[in-house]
Structure 1
Amino acid sequence: MLNVQDIRKDFPILNRKVNGKPLIYFDNAATSQTPQQVIDVIVSYYSNYNANIHRGVHSLSQEATDAYEKARITIQKHFNAKEAHEIIYTSGTTHGINLVANGFSSLLKKGDEIIVSALEHHSNIVPWQMLCERTGAVLKVIPMNEDGELILADFDALLNEATKLVFVNHISNALGTINPIEYIIDRAHSVGAAVLVDGAQSCPHLKPDVQALDVDFYVCSAHKICGPTGVGMLYGKEEWLKKLPPYQGGGEMIAEVSFEKTTYAGLPHKFEAGTPNICGGIAFAAALDYMNAIGFENIAAYENELLSYATERLLQIDDLKIFGTSEEKTSVISFNVGTIHPYDIGTILDKMGVAVRTGHHCAQPIMDFFKIPGTIRASFMFYNTKAEIDAFVVALKKAIMMLS
């Protein structure tokens, strides 16, 4: 069991007021909040050993290098990657996806097929469209149903010998649907296709084991896992990372450089050109340590409790419709109320101290499927409470009354 009141003391921002009201932060799917323990790690880095890494012989550089590479091992162990060099630091999920898409430009040819799901964030759609434009490959889409679930029979029908890559998010950011990625990975591998899983929304709520999943690529962002913005991770199987060319050229990713020829460094440095977000990488590991100390099983159980409670409370409101009703779902609720525009409700909720996300959530194809302009999205983390949900419902009813 979680002691939520004690946990909330770790998050300074939860004590602030917005428009004179206590902050109720239900925008966790966009970014989570950061505990003091992680903030302290960031302050310590810049206060005590801020230096560039890998190339320095002085003490600060060596300390920073040790902390950065130790953090990589922490991330490796958290995701159960076989080797530390299979963990590539990125600026976030989008960077990781683009790195892989760019690499496959040299591996695909005209007529090859790649498959993406209808539930994707734009960051797991646009890079693959760009890849198809560069290579002549064909993009196909796994359709979804009214519950916000992928239609697996249609996925099976799309697979064939021409399929080279399959991309799917572990959890939908817009609907909260948990996708059956084990099935998708297994079926894709049966035709020789590689699989990339977008874990941006899953990693705050569960603990992916990349070896057990047998996934080829897995990407995520630290800022959704109680870490800082501007840093993330690409996991790739060593065999695939060796096949992909470097994404960017510059310092750190080279072995030797002359004006005649450059040879590239081995993994992971081949994909880490330039000065990285050193502090971000160290703080990313600190955030994982923080969440592991709480326990992901405890987090999942409590967040499911919040999801059930909030769903029950919201469905008591007249004309409120929830989008995304999959049985396998995480703590995200997307909804609309009658014909009221989501933006209008979100604006009034903010005046009452409630932070929710409104719009298409960078998942416009999902909104087009439901024929709506967007939704109001409330997303919960383990530091949220039922009392906050109650206050949110009261504020929502006031907003509806004002707009009706």
Structure 2
Amino acid sequence: MFENLTDRLEGVFRRLRGHGTLTEDNIQEAMREVRMALLEADVHFKVARDFVAGVTEKAIGREVAKSLSPGQQVIKIVHEELVALLGGNTEQLRLDGRQPVTIMMAGLQGSGKTTTSGKLAAMLKNKGRRPYLVPADIYRPAAIEQLQVLGDKLGVPVHPSTTDTRPVDICRQAMVAAAEKNYDTVIIDTAGRLHIDESLMSELKDIQEAVQLSEILFVADAMTGQDAVTVAEKFNHDLAITGVVLTKMEGDARGGAALSIKSVTGKPIKFVGMGEGLDALEVFHPDRTASRILGMGDVLTLIEKAEAVVDKKEADKLAKKLQKSEFSLEDFLDQIQQIKKMGSLEQILDMVPGINKLRQLKDAPRPNEKELFKTEAIIRSMTIAERRNYKIINTSRRERIARGSGTALADVNRVLKSYSEMLKMMKKMRGKPGALTGMKRRKLPKGLRR
């Protein structure tokens, strides 16, 4: 979502690299462009002004490190200020203290509160906690049923709320039920409105007074930009929220809400929604986000995503298959599934350092999600025997696979050709020291051995 901002900032830094030293003039010129880039990204004008003032003061007052070029020095300062602007440290949920921990989700209608409640329950369940979902939205049609469906998918219990019970009473009853059944985390999904009104705030305050809340998370749609910041400020004034969840961060929003909300409300972004899947909720890391904005990638998040979807035993089995050139189309399909679990190709590439520079090349390849889905459909249209031995796939079989997958014969031929070329490449690599995972390592010099 920060692609345009990243492009603008990289242009500023590229021009700075042409200067031999940092002077007040070239810093001021660069900061004017940075300010315009932030405003175009829908960052609050006061936040943009203060950010640029802070960077300028540090850049002018700091002696350029000998090991860094002027451009690199400014990037370093901008990175430090971006991290501070985004919140500084990674903020975790308050899960200790009085049990059950009670989290209230608040926000306007359509911001994604119900789905986010389910995603948060899934995240906490994976960490070994026992969440209890509480539908307290009695106004929106099917809101209660929606949370019950999510609970069934996740295997998480849902309080049996009814539309003829007041939200505050639902919450009281849910707390009693959670204590009786030993649930350690209660997640309350509250009602929203199309805009802030007194009845909404009164209802949320009633719940706040009736239930001892550990967290009040304001859920905002990142696509709404500065509107999200304005609404967050009002919710924080009335309820004293403890954190923010920004949804739809995988979209093409300009990033202004993420860059402004901490500075305006004083409350940290704790989570970001990165897709529609129930596993698409991520802890917000200010330092990693700042690195992405500056085109440095986010290797740590990429590693965490890979570790979350890759089973070590399966990875070892795959390594052995690669060594023996036994990598079948079934294995290929499994790898596609694992890539999809990590997010879209665009999201994955955004975490790769330097990817933005590659995108700027005239003939740079672009990730094509449709081609990935097409390849998956083609392999799924094959029989087990065909997946395990692609050589038996003759012309009539290829035509059948094309019909079954809704693709063209040329698409089937392309997938099989790519797969066979990959096998040839693996065969060439086999035997090269360290070429494939699981092969014997070369001996280190004596001085480096443990």
TM-score normalised to the size of structure 1? 0.32
Q: Which structure has the highest helix share of the two?
A: 2
Between Structure 1 and Structure 2, the one with more strand by share is 1
Bigger Rg over Cα:
2
Between the two structures, name the one with larger relative contact order (CA 8 Å, sep ≥ 6).
Answer: 1
